[in-house]
Amino acid sequence: MKSANDVPEIERLKIGFVLARSFTLSAFALFVDTLRLASDETDKSGRVLADWQLLASTRNLITSSCGVQVAPTSDFVDPGEFNYIVVVGGLLNSEFPVDSETVSYLKRAAAAKVPLIGVCTGTFILAEAGLMKYHQTCVSWLHFQAFRERFPDHAVRADRLFNLDRTRGSCAGGSSAADMAASIVRRHISREAETNALEVLQIEKARSASDIQPRRPLSIESHDPRLKAALIIMENHIENTISIPKLAALVGISRRQLERLFMEKTRSSPALVYTRVRLERAKHLLMQTRAPMIEIAIEVGFENASHFSRLFRQTYGQPPSKFRSAASN
C-alpha cells in the first residue's frame, strides 16, 4: 500500500468541513469516518486516498449539540483546494449558527464552483446565505415545515435521504450522512473503498439518493418505497393540502396506481389516509396547545371548524372539544 507521500495531492478526494454551533456530532462523525475508512486499507486510517480538514475562522473549539467539542484544523484556505465543502448543522435555536466570515467563505467557494453540501440543518445555513435557491434541497421530515416557513421560494423535499447535483448537495442527517459520504467515495475513489468503509462501520449496504426516509406516519408498516414516500408527503402537506393526482405525480406513479397501492397495503383509499394523517396532527395540537378550534381546523387543512369537528367525531367517536377535555384530565 502506498504511503500518503507517494500519492499525488491532486488524486486524493479532499473535503473541507464547516461545523455550525450546536452541530450534530453523529452526522459529522459518520461522514468523516466513512472518508477515513475509505482512504486506507481496513482500519489503518492513513490519508492515502482521501484527506479532510475542519475549517473555521478561528481555532476556538466548536461545541456540538451533545456538548462534545471539536477543534478546527485549518483556517479558511483557498476553497479550490477541495472537491467538496460540507456544512454540518444542528440545533435550529441558535440565532447565528456560523459567523459572517464563514458565510463569506461559503459564498467565495460557490463563486469558485466548489460543490457545497448541507448536512442535517447545514442546508438552512446555505439557504440563508442564498446558495440553495436554484437547487432542490433534501431535509429531514423533522425540519421540513421549518425550512418551508423560512425559505418559501425554495424547492424542498423530506421523503428522500439525500440529494447531490453538480454544485450542491443536501442530506437529511443522522445515519444518511454515511450513505451520502459512501456515494461520494464510490464516485471519486472506488467501489472497493466504499465497501471497506461500510464493512468496518458495520453497515451492510449503503442506501441511495432515491431511498426513502424511515418515517412511518400512522404507524403504517410497509416496505414499499412508493407508499412510504406518499405518507411522508402527506404529512408534509397538512395545512396546504395537495390533490391526490399531484400526490401520485410526486411519488412518480399514476393516480390509479396510487389508489391500487393504498387499497392493497392499507385497505383504504389515499384520500381517507390523508384525512387521517391530518386528524392525527389535530389530536396532537388539541393535547399540546390551547389554540381555538378554528385555528386548529385551518392548520390541518380544513376550511371551517364545523367540517373539522364532524370528521373528527366520525373518526374518533367524540368531538374534538371533548377529546381535549379528556386529555387534560
Q: What is the pLDDT of residue 126?
A: 98
In the predicted model, what is the mean pLDDT of the chain?
A: 91
Do 127 and 268 lie in a common domain?
A: no
- The verdict on residue 206 lying in a domain is no
Average pLDDT over residues 199-214: 88
Give me the mean pLDDT over the 45-50 stretch: 88
Domain holding 282: CATH number?
Answer: 1.10.10.60
CATH of the domain at 179: 3.40.50.880
Asked if 291 and 158 sit in the same domain, the reply is: no
| The pLDDT value given to residue 256 | 95
Are 71 and 112 contained in the same domain?
Answer: yes
One-letter amino acid for residue 288 of the chain? Q
Cα separation, 277 vs 321, in Å, equals 19
- Full residue range of the structural domain in which residue 186 is found: 13-201
- State whether 61 and 96 are in the same domain: yes
pLDDT classification of 9: cutoffs 50, 70, 90: very low
Q: Are residues 191 and 42 in the same domain?
A: yes
Query: How many Cβ atoms sit within 10 Å of the Cβ of residue 39?
Result: 25
**Among 157, 178, 201, where does a domain finish?**
201
Q: Is residue 95 part of a domain?
A: yes
**How far is C-alpha 260 from the chain's CA centre?**
29
2 inside domain: no
In a domain, 260, yes or no: yes
pTM: 0.74
Rounded Cα distance between 183 and 270, Å, is 34
**Is 173 found in the same domain as 253?**
no
Distance between CA atoms of 201 and 111, rounded to whole angstroms? 35
| Residue 4 domain flag | no
Q: What is d(CA 245, CA 256) in angstroms, rounded to the nearest whole number?
A: 9
* 170 occurs within a structural domain: yes
Q: What is the number of alpha carbons within 13 Å of residue 94 lying toward its C-beta?
A: 20
Q: What is the pLDDT of residues 83-135, one digit of tens each?
A: 999 999 999 988 899 999 999 999 999 999 999 999 999 999 999 999 999 99
Structural domain count of the chain: 2
Q: Look up residue 4 and give its three cell numbers.
A: 500518503
- Residue identified by cell 450522512 is 177
Q: Is 105 found in the same domain as 21?
A: yes
Residues 220 and 160 placed together within one structural domain of the fold: no
Domain boundary among the residues 201, 229, 248 is at 201
Q: Are residues 191 and 311 in the same domain?
A: no
- Give the pLDDT mean for 284-293: 88
Residues 141 and 184 in one domain: yes
What digits encode the pLDDT tens for the residues 217-269? 777 888 899 999 999 999 989 988 999 999 999 999 999 999 999 999 999 99
